[in-house]
Amino acid sequence: MSRGRGARRSGPRRSLLAGALSLLGELLITTGLVLALFVVYSLWWTNVLADRSAAERGDEVRRAWRSAPPAGAPGALDTRDGIGFLHVPAMDGGEVLVKRGTSADVLDDGVAGYYTDPVRSALPWDRTGNFSLAAHRDGHGAKFHNIHKLRDGDPIVFETRDTWYVYRVFAELAQTSRYDTGVLAPVPRASGRTAPGRYITLTTCTPMYTSKYRYIVWGQLVRTERVDARRTPPAELR
């Protein structure tokens, strides 16, 4: 009799435990699905939206170029809509619209931005200085996702309405602090250069899928070409 009553008393306890374990399992599955959906949103859907937005903005810039009066000073192209397009064949990313600023509001639209602070960027047509750019490595267009593929001598080409600016990579820094503003200096000494020149600097987050450090690539201007009526790209892009 006593064993029977004990078994009847333990039955409800087992049922409660089984129910709790079942509920926990369902919660874990739901949490996993939510996290998976968040990853999909962060690493895929934001790319879709950013690429769409960047393509629309880029089309607007090119239409403005076609309808603009004869070219004057290059600085007149420095507008909020974009100053030109970056082409980096080694990154396999197609053209990248470049706009003013490096805040999330700018970069989340799938573009690259040139620095206004903490170190003000030079622009390609300036006689000396460092044209310093940032873009996302993952999500929101991920325009610098393949920055690690760049090697010494690889071309980096910047296109404006009037001019192609052709740079060559000469140095990289695979990891540095996000607070290392020296990499943006007019003469980026961490690159090995000690004299003024016409430099370009690409910056993005590293390691992939984090924003703990920064990955840096430096290039130096080797020549310019005037844009012809057919916008024939320089040899590096053919």
Which residues are known to be catalytic?
A: 205
Contact between 199 and 131 under an 8 Å Cβ cutoff? The reply is yes
Dist CA 219 CA 15 (whole Å): 68
Query: DSSP secondary-structure letter at 45?
Result: I
Dist CA 156 CA 166 (whole Å): 6
Phi first, then psi: give them for residue 143, nearest 5 degrees. Answer: -65, -25
Q: Please, how many CA atoms are within 13 Å of residue 184, restricted to the half-sphere of its CB?
A: 22
Burial class (CB in 10 A: 0-12, 13-18, 19+), 82: buried
Q: Is 167 helix (H, G, I), strand (E, B) or coil?
A: strand
Dist CA 145 CA 50 (whole Å): 14
DSSP-assigned beta bridge partners for residue 159: 85, 164
Q: Is 171 helix (H, G, I), strand (E, B) or coil?
A: strand
